[in-house]
Amino acid sequence: MCRINYRNNIALVFLFLLVGLAQAQAQFKSKATLQTPDSTCFYSIEITPAISGFVKTDLSDIRILDEQQKQVPFIIRNAAVRKIDNRFDTLSVLQNKVDDSGRSIIVVQNKSQEKLDGFTLVIKNADVLRSALLMGSDDEKNWYSIIENIYFSNASSVEKDDYLQQINFPLSGYHFYKIVINNGKNAPLNITSIIKSVTEELKAIDPYISNPDIKFSQKDSTDGYSYIFVENPSGYHIEKIDLDVKGPKFFKRELAIEAGFSNYSYTVKADSNHSLITPVFNDKKWTIKIYNGDNPPLAVMALRTFQSRKQLIASLDAGKKYALFLNDSAAKAPSYELQNFKDSIPQVVKSIAVGSIEKNVTENATKVEASKKWLWITLLVVLAVLAFFTMRLVKDVQTKN
């Protein structure tokens, strides 16, 4: 009876050791240093194929830590799509005076020399009529007419003590603009600022990023199928597959991709692009199975893989050190409040460079590795003792029988 208790106790110790070993292995195994931010603002970190090879397909095991090892909240978003947006900037007013003829002369500078088709005057409330003209110059000496007979209508605001007067004109990119307002014998308008509206169009970018080349081989079987065996040893994320297929002039075949997400079926046919969209997966070995039937097999001449273009968006402080931590099998997706404010983050933000990915070796990691070694040694000893008592128990049972 005592020996059976010993065996149960040793089994319990064995179980605890296994749990301890699993806990010792839970940590971020890789890291990459981020470029030091030059200003405090939002930055984007692109998930490159190299980074994807170190993280899960749902990106749940990726973190940004500062120099105090505190987490920095981030959101994950896909690539920007084509978008038209208006940006409002204040123009620098170089001159605002009334000349001897009673005309208001206002000179503003378009520092970036962006193409403009109008700007807005912010004017203190006044119920008056005025006419004006607009000129442009690149050197503030030679002025050229842009538009004449501009009329400021009676306007004011009942909610604020100023109102907006829009001036529209043909598209131009002068460095300086001069507004001449005819006041006659009346007092001038009180113009407090001039705002330019710039229409920005974000160009559409490819929502997919190409993975480095991966190896594949083809085997045409007598069972009517061609098997394409693909190797993805770096574990790149895959969400699209492009095939270059050579076959008869007319063909239409069914194929299936056998990977971690189970089977997905597609149709490939002559005179068409063979782009296959898949759920994200990162299997290191997977297969494409093409059904040929009684037809000559198709030949896959090239195979390229792609993943969705994703970014981490985080607010970083100027001059601080940050690092990306990756590859923790026990990690779960973080929950940050920043997700509730994602619509307030600009569509276009600065990008920040990511250094080379290295093994995350820390003092804590070193202790964990040492603990793992002792756990393995203890585990082997426990196994040996458990085997010894098991053999003794078997002998005792045999003797009794």
Residues 197 and 99 in one domain: yes
Residues 198 and 97 in one domain: yes
Q: From CA 51, how far away is CA 32, in angstroms rounded?
A: 9
How much of the chain exceeds pLDDT 90, in percent? 53
**Mean per-residue pLDDT of the chain:** 84
Q: Greater confidence, 397 or 332?
A: 332
Do 89 and 198 have their domain in common?
Answer: yes
pLDDT at 28: 86
Which among 198, 290, 214 has a CA at the least distance from the CA of 247?
A: 290
Counted domains in the chain? 3
Write out the residue range of the structural domain in which residue 139 sits: 85-202
Q: Based on the domain organization, do 90 and 117 belong to the same domain? A: yes
Where does the pLDDT of residue 3 fall: very low under 50, low under 70, confident under 90, or very high at 90 and above?
very low
**Per-residue pLDDT for 392 more than 70?**
yes
- What does the pLDDT read at residue 204? 62
Within 8 A by CB and 6+ apart from 159, the residues are none
What residue ranges in 138-175 does DSSP mark as E strands? 144-152, 162-172
Tell me phi and psi for residue 274, to 5 degrees: -110, 75
Q: How high is the pLDDT of residue 160?
A: 82
| Average pLDDT estimate for 155-180 | 86
Q: With respect to residue 166, please indicate whether it lies within any of the assigned structural domains.
A: yes
How far from 332 is each of 126, 131, 322, CA to CA, in Å?
Answer: 61, 66, 21
pTM for this predicted structure: 0.59
Closest CA to 230 of 282, 167, 178: 282
Same domain, 190 and 267: no
Q: Name the more confident of 84 and 272.
A: 272
For residue 26, pLDDT over 60 is answered with: no
Q: What is the CATH number for 298?
A: 2.60.120.260
The answer to whether residues 95 and 129 belong to one domain is yes
- Same domain flag for 197 and 212: no
β-strands 41-46, 350-351 pairing = parallel
In a domain, 391, yes or no: no
State whether 152 and 259 are in the same domain: no
Verify that 225 and 290 share a domain, yes or no.
yes
Residue 213 has pLDDT above 90, yes or no: yes
Q: What number is the average pLDDT over the span 59-86?
A: 84
pLDDT at 195 over 70: yes
Residue 7 in domain: no
pLDDT at 12: 54
Q: What's the first-to-final CA gap in the chain, in angstroms?
A: 17
Distance from C-alpha of 327 to C-alpha of 29, rounded to nearest angstrom: 5
C-alpha to C-alpha distance for 77 and 294, rounded to whole angstroms: 46
pLDDT at 97: 92
In which band, very low, low, confident or very high, does the pLDDT at 219 lie, cut at 50, 70 and 90?
very high
Instruction: Say how far apart CA 302 and CA 281 lie, in whole Å.
Output: 20
- 11: pLDDT strictly greater than 60: no
